[in-house]
Amino acid sequence: MKLAYYPGCVAQESGRELDLSTRWVCRTLGIELVEFPKFSCCGSGFIDEANEVLNVAINARNLAIAEAAGLDLMTICSTCQGMLSLAQHRMLDSTVRAKVDAALRPLGIDYRGSAKVTHLLRVLVEGIGLDAIRAKVRRPLSGLKVGAFYGCHLLRPSDETGWESGEEPHSFEDLLSALGAEPVQYRGRVLCCGFPIQFVKPETAGRIAGRQILDAKHHGAEAMATPCPLCHTSLDAYQGPAGKLVGERLDMPVFHLPQLVGLALGASPQEMGLARHLVPTEAALARVPTPGR
């Protein structure tokens, strides 16, 4: 399997452990990632607020880069996934399309709308398949109760992102089960992490993040996992302030999705960059039996 790799900004900077673990997992599972140094940031929903058509054009350019190479595009961030899908959707509107084409064509960029945008989660569940992953597990995450946290833009608006139910998704839990972990069901898994207003009103953002972590915790989660580095920032990097805002010590380790996959497939914590997290992951991993080899 060969895909255009769209890492997004955060995974190349403060969330490097996500890029690191993605590459490890893809290498191990035989997914060839083709890199394009021309890819720009997706605008993260913020440029969309300032200028809708500009945001579509920036992402149409990203899509056109993958199209020119005849590849589908793989994201590792719910927000990147949402923004690229949104651009595809808005390009179906002839007025938007005309404005964007008029800006792109003189630059020699031809958007056709032929590349698919897919997230690592979907590549693993549908492209590789749960059985194939299960067969490669060397260190089952047995006994680890994990709360999956999807990230809004992977699920909604469901008529634009359109993969699985935005209300009752299960791909992430299915993957966790295949890794040997015990997925925890809680309402917060499909709700918001608070990140979009982290810089508008940190107190509100923190309360929202804290509420979701508490929800996972009250349902028995010993760790959380997310397919989105922005959710990871809210849930891990800002967990300290979030705990103070909800008046409880949270102590919830939060993994990036490929980190858990990598650990189950035999990667070391160092290879997954776990030391870069703000909330330590050791206690959660200590629950997982080491393979008797």
Report how far residue 134's alpha carbon sits from residue 89's, in angstroms, rounded to the nearest whole number.
Answer: 35
Phi first, then psi, for residue 43 (nearest 5°) are: 90, -15
Q: Which is nearer to another protein, 194 or 262 (CB)?
A: 194
- Binding of another protein at residue 158 (CB under 8 A)? yes
* Spatial separation of the C-alpha atoms in residues 219 and 14, rounded to whole Å: 30
Position 194 contacts another protein (CB under 8 A): yes
Beta-carbon contacts of 185 under 8 Å, excluding residues fewer than 6 positions away, are 173, 219
Residue from 97, 136, 211, 219 that binds another protein (CB under 8 A)? 211
Residue 163 interacting with another protein (CB under 8 A):
no
Q: Taking a C-beta distance cutoff of 8 angstroms, is the pair 120, 75 a contact?
A: yes
Q: Which of 32, 34, 49, 138 binds another protein (CB under 8 A)?
A: 49
**Using rule CB under 8 A, residue 135 touches another protein:** no
Q: Is 147 helix (H, G, I), strand (E, B) or coil?
A: strand
Residue closer to another protein by CB (options 127, 157) is: 157
* Closer Cβ to another protein, 49 or 126, answer by number: 49
Minimum Å distance from CB 256 to another protein? 13
Of 271-290, binders to another protein (CB under 8 A) are: 275-278
> Measured from the CB atom, is 136 or 156 closer to another protein?
156
Ordered alpha helix ranges (H), 147-236: 152-155, 158-161, 171-178, 202-218, 229-232
Among 80, 124, 208, 267, binds another protein (CB under 8 A): 208
